[in-house]
Amino acid sequence: MERAKEKKREKGKEPEKEKMRGKGKEKEKRKEVEKKKSKEKVKEKEKEEKRSKEEEKRKEQETEKEQFKGKEKKEKDNNSILTKPPLEPREKNKQILVLGLDGAGKTSVLHSLAFNRVQHSVAPTHGFNAVCINTEDSQMEFLEIGGSEPFRSYWEMYLSRGLLLVFVVDSADHNRLPEAKKHLHQLIGTNPILPLVVFANKQDLEAAYRITDIHEALALSEVGNDRKVFLFGTQVTENGSEIPSAMQDARDLIAHLAADMQ
């Protein structure tokens, strides 16, 4: 009798237990839904941040383009067309700047260094010319800025964030060496430690000044005691031939200097 009663009581408890289990499951389900929702919220937030970053970048690029358009208008009298928009000097990946008067041979030197073969430039650089050169254990980013007058105003702007300066002169253009010297000293005057590599180019020409004359003409002894300065005699002569050893040495040295400055 007692046992029968007991069984009945136990039976009565069953639905309650079921109810409890049901409630537990519901709670779990709710928790899962909440978890899902918060995950979605985080994702949404991330997407929003990405969108606003992209928007910012786009705006920056647009202002840059506008600035450049303004500059381009001013330069119309010189019939100058910019082949490429200016590259934003990158804070992380600093560039090696290649500057010098128009016709000095910057593009020819740069392309020869990049391809390890002599490459004559076919046209003046109207604006910017970015070249990436890979060495055994590093990658160097060079940025040439055109040497004709409309583009010289960019030199200083980019120099402030350059890794080092490669300055190219036409060793046979005696009349313009004082002008080249003036620009060089103006540039490096803004940064007393920026390493300087000078290419006394066009050494193949009979009229070319030799290294010591170029050193004097550019007053390289006055570029500051804290600065590393190097001077190479270079020539870009027969198209397609291997570059002279002086150019190879210069490239190795630049790679070293750039690595030191990073």
Ligand X SMILES: Nc1nc2c(ncn2[C@@H]2O[C@H](COP(=O)(O)OP(=O)(O)OP(=O)(O)O)[C@@H](O)[C@H]2O)c(=O)[nH]1
- Contact window for Mg ion (CB under 5 A) among 81-89, 93-101, 120-128, 243-251: 120-128
Nearer to ligand X, 128 or 220 (CB): 128
Q: Which amino acid belongs to residue 121?
A: S
Residues near ligand X (CB under 6 A) are 100, 102-108, 120-121, 124-125, 146-148, 168, 201-202, 204-205, 235-237
Residue 112 touches Mg ion, criterion: CB under 5 A: no
Count residues contacting Mg ion (CB under 5 A)? 3
Q: Which amino acid belongs to residue 235?
A: Q
* Least distance to Mg ion, CB of residue 133, Å: 16
* Least distance to ligand X, CB of residue 165, Å: 14
* Least distance to Mg ion, CB of residue 146, Å: 6
Among 95, 97, 100, 107, binds Mg ion (CB under 5 A): 107
Among 125, 171, 201, 235, binds Mg ion (CB under 5 A): 125
114 binds, among ligand X, Mg ion, none (CB under 5 to 8 A by kind): none
Continuous segment of H or E residues that includes residue 41 = helix 2-74
Burial 237-258 (b: 16+ CB within 10 A, else e): eeeeeebbeebeebbebbbebb
Beginning with the edge strand found earlier in the chain, give each strand of the sheet holding 162-170 in spatial order: 128-134, 139-145, 95-99, 162-170, 196-201, 229-233
* Least distance to Mg ion, CB of residue 124, Å: 6
* Least distance to ligand X, CB of residue 90, Å: 22
Nearer to Mg ion, 236 or 258 (CB): 236
Q: How far apart are CA 187 and CA 106, in angstroms?
A: 17
Q: How far apart are CA 21 and CA 60, in angstroms?
A: 59
Nearer to Mg ion, 83 or 116 (CB): 83
Residue whose C-alpha is closest to residue 147's, from 119, 183, 118: 183
Among 75, 80, 101, 106, binds Mg ion (CB under 5 A): 106
* Least distance to ligand X, CB of residue 56, Å: 33
105 binds, among ligand X, Mg ion, none (CB under 5 to 8 A by kind): ligand X
Continuous segment of H or E residues that includes residue 142 = strand 139-145
Q: How far apart are CA 177 and CA 231, in angstroms?
A: 15
Nearer to ligand X, 86 or 100 (CB): 100
Q: How far apart are CA 38 and CA 52, in angstroms?
A: 21
Classify the C-alpha dihedral 211-221-198-82 as positive or negative.
Answer: negative
User: Token pair 């290419």 is at which residue?
Assistant: 199
Nearer to ligand X, 202 or 251 (CB): 202
Interface residues toward Mg ion, by CB under 5 A: 106-107, 125
